[in-house]
Structure 1
Amino acid sequence: MSVTTTTHLNFRGTAREALGFYQSVFGGHTAAVTYKDAGAVGHESEAEWVMWGEVASDNGFHVMAYDVPSQLPWARGENPFFVSVRGDATEEITALWDRLAEGSAIVRPLGPAQWAPLYGMLTDRFGVTWVLDVAAPYNV
């Protein structure tokens, strides 16, 4: 079993541009799934926004990013990131979730998601927002 942590950056309509910039700085490859790709368009003007994206390079650099949809609160510089914890075993992620959830505000309960066998989001008692999930293969 293994677990990795990744900084997950939050934008409003500029995630693709930011990912391209970070790739130009750190190298590697960029992947992105839009709200349209995932069948999760809330507002037609946001269909091409990034629902999930990343830059990963062979030297170990890795960030994830998304565009916060307009129905959710967002202000530049406020809550600019999440910490993503990704594992390959549901038991391990569930155990970590259970410990982190003590005293936390659950944003999205841990459970199956369209893009992952297990996914959840919470804000811990220190104000840090965590995204936990079980890795799933994806094609981009």
Structure 2
Amino acid sequence: MSVHVTPHLNFRGEAREALEFYRSVFGGELAVTTYGEMGSTDPAEAGLVVWGQVAAPNGFRVMAYDAPAARPWSRGEDPFFVSVRGTGAEELAGLWAGLAEGGTVVQPFGPSAWAAAYGMVRDRFGITWVLDVLG
């Protein structure tokens, strides 16, 4: 049996933009279903994402949705990190640079005491990403 963990990110009206951004960084296929497609009768929420996903051939996967107005939601401050681990420093450095566009560097990507390369960045949507090279 295999278990795979996929981060599910919650937004308020930014899910589609965030998913498109993550697709531009990691590649892969974007799938989006809106509240309207699921039968919502609220015109203000019809175009919002009820479920979305980016899945890339290299194994990257993230899901997201827009919390409806009736549900309390707050972006919060570092409620979680999304960890991306790989075996190639060059590939991860490129991903880190993409995520850093419009974001805030928490820890520059480079060698660390515990990994061949490590970096932390908060992207323009407030999501904190940790990237490191295995081994």
Pairing 1:69–2:63 present = no
Which whole-Å CA distance do the structure 1 matches of 2:50 and 2:7 have between them? 15
SS of 2:71's equivalent? coil
SS of 1:53's equivalent? strand
Q: Which residue of 2 aligns with 1:127?
A: none
**Cα–Cα, structure 1 residues 17 and 60, in superposed 2: closer, same or farther, change >3 Å?**
same
Q: Which residue of 2 aligns with 1:8?
A: 8
Deviations 1:83-136 (A, max 9, x none): xxxxxxxxxxxxxxxxxxxxxxxxxxxxxxxxxxxxxxxxxxxxxxxxxxxxxx
Identity of aligned residues (%): 61
Deviations 1:54-85 (A, max 9, x none): 0000011000000000000001226967xxxx
Which whole-Å CA distance do the structure 1 matches of 2:61 and 2:79 have between them? 16
Count how many residue pairs are aligned between Structure 1 and Structure 2: 81
Which whole-Å CA distance do the structure 1 matches of 2:2 and 2:41 have between them? 34
**Cα–Cα, structure 1 residues 33 and 54, in superposed 2: closer, same or farther, change >3 Å?**
same
Alignment map for 1:16-31 (pairs within 5 Å) = 16-31=16-31
**Cα–Cα, structure 1 residues 51 and 30, in superposed 2: closer, same or farther, change >3 Å?**
same
Unpaired runs of 5+ residues, structure 2, are 81-135
Q: Which residue of 1 aligns with 2:49?
A: 50
Question: Could you list the runs of 4 or more consecutive aligned residues of structure 1 that deviate by over 3 angstroms after TM superposition?
Answer: 78-81
Unpaired runs of 5+ residues, structure 1, are 82-140
**Cα–Cα, structure 1 residues 34 and 70, in superposed 2: closer, same or farther, change >3 Å?**
same
Look up the equivalent residue of 2:58 and give its one-letter code.
N
Which whole-Å CA distance do the structure 2 matches of 1:79 and 1:46 have between them? 27
Considering only aligned residues, what root-mean-square deviation do their CA atoms show, in Å? 2.2
TM-score, scaled to structure 1 = 0.52
TM-score, scaled to structure 2 = 0.54
SS of 1:33's equivalent? strand
SS of 1:18's equivalent? helix
